[in-house]
Amino acid sequence: MTEHEVSRNERFDAYLVGKRSNRVFVVDRDRCKGCRICVSVCPYQALEMSREKTQRGYFFPIENGNCTACKQCLYACPDFVLSVHKLEEVTVGGETA
Amino acid sequence: MEIDFSKLGHNLEDKLTSKMLPHIWCSGCSLGTNLQSLVRGAVMTGMDMDKEMVMISGIGCTGRASGYVEFDGFHTTHGRAIPFASGVKTGNPNLEVIVFSGDGDLFSIGGNHFIHAARRKLDMTIICTNNSVYGLTGGQASPTTFEYSTTTTTIDHNLRPFNLVDLALGAGADFVARYTSAHFKILPRIIKQAIETDGVAFIDLISGCPAIYGKRNGYPTADYMVKNFLEASVEIEVKEDGSHLLSENTRVEFDRTKGYTKIPIGVFRRQHR
Amino acid sequence: MKKQPRAMAGRHLDSGNIAVAEGAIYAGLHGYYGYPITPSTSIMEHIVKRLPHLEEPGYFLQCEDEIASITATIGCSWTRKKAMTATSGPGFSLMQEGIGLAVMTETPLVLVDVMRGGPSTGLPTFPGQQELMQAHFGSHGDYIIPTFAPWSVQECFDLTVEAFNAAEALRTPVFVLSDQVLSTLKEKFVIPKEGEMEVVNRAHPGETITWKGTEISEDLVPGMNCFGEEKKAFSTGLSHDESGHVDLTAKTFERLTNRMFEKVHRYAHLLPQAEKYMMDDAEIVIVTYGSTARSAYEAINLVREQGLKVGMYRLRTIWPFPEEDLRKSTEGKEILVVEMARDQLTWPVERALLRRVHHIAYPMGLIPPPSVITKKVREIGGK
Ligand code: SF4
Ligand code: SF4
Ligand code: SF4
């Protein structure tokens, strides 16, 4: 992963974030219901809503490079969509969380 | 470095009953946020959610909450979460019981159980997700629906709502607090204090039902709702003469064109040890 | 206060309500939840003197109403403790909601209903047998709850112990239908020593238990995962799968409800069997239960002296109704149903026998005296 790189699979978007680029901001797209609460609570305007929809028909948040991994949005999200992990805990071969 | 996608589950994933998610609640409903705050509060206590805690809910949108988290739990009949909790607590006093239910469930059909629980002081935590409406059945008036707001059963005029903080103080609860679902920063700490209270701890957790109530009554979207909660909230100032506890000073105010206009928040009573 | 033993072994002279309370304690009662109502109240007044003072103390809670009593009973049972409540007519009506929840969540508990005359507040201090159908059909939805009916103070004790055993073995609520006469009637009864009577405890997940020497199938009665134990324990009044989680599909609902019926019917032969008195040569059989049977017993002895061949089929388990046994034991005989109700016991009897029967309906708050029964028997017998 390089700076502001994003990895995706059929369920997750994972963004490399934080001042030292050692955090991973995760969007579990399938659970998102597009309510925009995350966008409105983020103190750093780091989130925007997607243009395409999820399988269930909702727009979902996209990280724009400003995320500091402060976790406000994930506490606010009503659908357990968002999380922040330490990079070393979620890489292949890394330590397990 | 390559990301291992199998490790990307939610930070609280091991506390969630993953197979039941996504939950049934509408987009932007406060219930999910509240549930997360509850789990975070429970984790903060250091107790084992499965072996030491039981989460009991009644009927309604909120009722389904106990099925989504890895607490031992029970989804009772309408209004009966508190008596069920009383049975659990007396069956095994080592268990922490948490009642998590809505305003209709706890204060209409279950109102009698609440006042007796508060009087009896069996150790339990009662969290009311108070969204002022019967959401699951399509938006009828609840005991906390505001006076001039529109529901499917109060088109012209509604009667006076309960002030749940006033009710809980009067009935004798040992810990009484009010916050909104937008106070997710402080709520886990308040929930922890409630759980650790010996006796009946009550939290009036002002919540939004944007899909049904909000749409008709001044908070049409979830992001507006969250801002509205924060803007309308006023932390209580503790007065020596206790006047901050008077009913008129703890009352929630609401305007059907703008949403909430005043929400007195804070901890109104802490048990004296 | 001195610690009290569970089994007050020995001979006693006391009322049916006291015997019920002692039976429950003997069977391992931990939590009692109740609300005052005549004529069941003295059960709870006795429990409060005993339960908190046992070596392993139990818990008594006077609830705000009967709805709370039954719901708290269910809550207590989910901590793997034995729990009960007792009530009478109006309270039994209020409990119907909780009864449905106990059925749906397969919660072992015992509910003692001391019957008085109804409807409504009716006859609080006089007996009735008008809750027979309510015990079967009172709550909404299809279900079957094992229902026992004692006729003596001794049986008030015995059948309460049996009720707890059936509840634990089959993971079901169980009813004991007593009545106002038994509640106050004092007679001799014996409490056995601890260990003399079988006491059954519900299975853990993956464990098989035996009851009356019979192994209970785990497929029909899954071991119960209770609060505070290894895995997440969960249940709901909604249709649910084996883990207790909501599943509203027709397939799951059918599997759940079928199993709930099947488990009670499969083991019905282990429930208290009907007592047959002077049935061998009887030409007329009185079908009855509870304190009414005491009068029928007197009546039979009287008319036997006059040469009338009369016997009695006294039900001890009412639900599930022993249709086949009744049919076999009364073939070719005249049937007389006696009850303190207008028309309740006649329903399952006539359905079992596929014919109309003679009937003494006595719903006015009195046991039908033997003279009423002997008169009717003479009419039927043509003497
Ligand atoms: S708050 Fe959660 S559910 Fe709502 S849009 Fe953001 S990620 Fe999706
Ligand atoms: S973690 Fe903080 S900075 Fe990052 S998107 Fe969420 S709220 Fe914004
Ligand atoms: S109806 Fe209202 S309370 Fe119920 S899930 Fe939807 S938004 Fe939430």
The per-residue pLDDT for range A33-90, each reduced to its tens digit, is 999 999 999 999 999 999 999 999 999 999 999 999 999 999 999 999 999 999 999 9
From chain A, the residues in CB contact with B65 under 8 A are none
Q: Is the pLDDT of residue B72 over 80?
A: yes
The answer, for C65 touching chain B at a CB cutoff of 8 Å, is: yes
* B29 Cα to the center of ligand 3, angstroms: 6
**Strand-pair partners of C116:** C127
Separation between Cα atoms, residue C129 and residue B7, nearest integer Å: 63
Q: Is C253 touching B (CB cutoff 8 A)?
A: no
pLDDT score recorded for residue C192: 98
Q: Residue B232: name the closest of B186, B187, B264, B184 by CA.
A: B264
CA distance A90 to B2: 9
Residue C230 is predicted with a pLDDT of 85
Residues C59-77: tens digit of each pLDDT: 999 999 999 999 999 999 9
C192, two tokens: 């056995």
Backbone angles phi, psi at A52, to 5 degrees: -90, 165
Q: According to the model, what pLDDT value does residue B155 have?
A: 79
- pLDDT digit of tens for each residue in chain C (383 aa)? 789 999 999 999 999 999 999 999 999 999 999 999 999 999 999 999 999 999 999 999 999 999 999 999 999 999 999 999 999 999 999 999 999 999 999 999 999 999 999 999 999 999 999 999 999 999 999 999 999 999 999 999 999 999 999 999 999 999 999 999 999 999 999 999 999 999 999 999 999 999 999 999 999 999 999 999 988 999 999 999 998 999 999 999 999 999 999 999 999 999 999 999 999 999 999 999 999 999 999 999 999 999 999 999 999 999 999 999 999 999 999 999 999 999 999 999 999 999 999 999 999 999 999 999 999 999 999 87
Contact between chains at B226 and A76 (C-beta distance less than 8 A): yes
- Given its phi and psi angles, is residue C171 left (phi above 0), alpha (psi -120 to 50 degrees) or beta? left
Q: What is the pLDDT of residue B273?
A: 42
User: Cβ of C211 under 8 Å from any chain B Cβ?
Assistant: no
Residue from C83, C77, C30, C75 nearest C57 by CA: C30
Contact B36, B54 (CB under 8 A): no
pLDDT band at B203 (very low <50, low <70, confident <90, very high): very high
| Ligand 3 centroid – CA B210 distance (Å) | 7
Nearest alpha carbon, ligand 1 atom 8? A32
Residue B35, H or E segment: helix B30-44
Give the pLDDT confidence score for residue A94 in this predicted structure. 66
In the block, tokens 């009412």 appear at: C318
| Single-letter code of the amino acid located at A92 | V
Q: Are strands B140-141 and B200-206 parallel, antiparallel or unpaired?
A: unpaired
Compute the average pLDDT of residues B169-198: 97
pLDDT of residue A96: 53
Which tokens go with B268?
Answer: 């109104």
Going by alpha carbons, the residue nearest to atom 7 of ligand 3 is B209
Average of per-residue pLDDT across B157-175: 94
Ordered by start, the domain boundaries in chain B are 5-270
CA distance C155 to C351: 27
3.30.70.20, 3.40.50.300, 3.30.70.270, 1.10.275.10: CATH of A5-96: 3.30.70.20
Looking at residue B211, the DSSP 8-state letter turns out to be I
Place of tokens 């987009």: B27
The answer to whether the Cβ–Cβ distance between C235 and B116 falls below 8 Å is no
Query: Which atom, in ligand 1's list, is nearest to the CA of A49?
Result: 5
Whole-number pLDDT of residue C231: 86
CA of A60 to the centre of ligand 1 (A): 7
The yes-or-no reply on A/C contact (3 CB pairs or more, < 8 Å) is no
Chain A residue with the nearest C-alpha to that of B220: A35
CA distance C366 to chain B (A): 36
> pLDDT at residue B246 above 50?
yes
Q: How far is the CA of B228 from the centre of ligand 1 (A)?
A: 18
Whether residues B7 and A90 touch (CB distance < 8 A) is answered with yes
Domains and CATH numbers, chain C: 1-272 (3.40.50.970), 275-381 (3.40.50.920)
Strand partners, C59: C31
Omega before B22 within 30 of 0, i.e. cis:
yes
> SS3 for C319?
strand
Q: Taking the CB of residue C109, how many other CB atoms lie within 10 A of it?
A: 28
The answer to whether residues C312 and C276 touch, using CB atoms and an 8 Å cutoff, is yes
The strand pairing partners of C334, in sequence order, are C284
Question: Would you give the end-to-end CA distance of chain C in angstroms?
Answer: 63
- For tokens 């119907």, name the residue: C96
State the closest ligand 3 atom to the C-alpha of B139, by its place in the atom list counted from 1.
1
Specify which residues C285 forms β-bridges with: C311, C335
Q: What is the pLDDT of residue A4?
A: 66
Query: What's residue A2's pLDDT?
Result: 47
Handedness of CA C94, C368, C153, C334 (dihedral sign): negative
For chain A, which residues make up each domain, given as ranges?
5-96
- Contact residues, A window 58-87, toward B, CB-based 8 Å cutoff: 58, 72, 74-85, 87
Q: What 8-state DSSP symbol labels residue C2?
A: -
CATH number of the B5-270 domain = 3.40.50.970
Q: Which residues of B touch C61 (CB under 8 A)?
A: 86-87, 90
Whether residue A26 has its Cβ less than 6 Å from ligand 1 = no
Chain B residues lying within 8 Å of C64, measured CB to CB: 83, 112-113, 116
Q: Mean pLDDT across the stretch B109-134?
A: 97
The sign one gets for the Cα dihedral B99, B101, B106, B109 is negative
Q: What are φ and ψ of residue B84, in 5° steps?
A: -60, -45
Of B70, B84, B91, the CB nearest to C232: B70
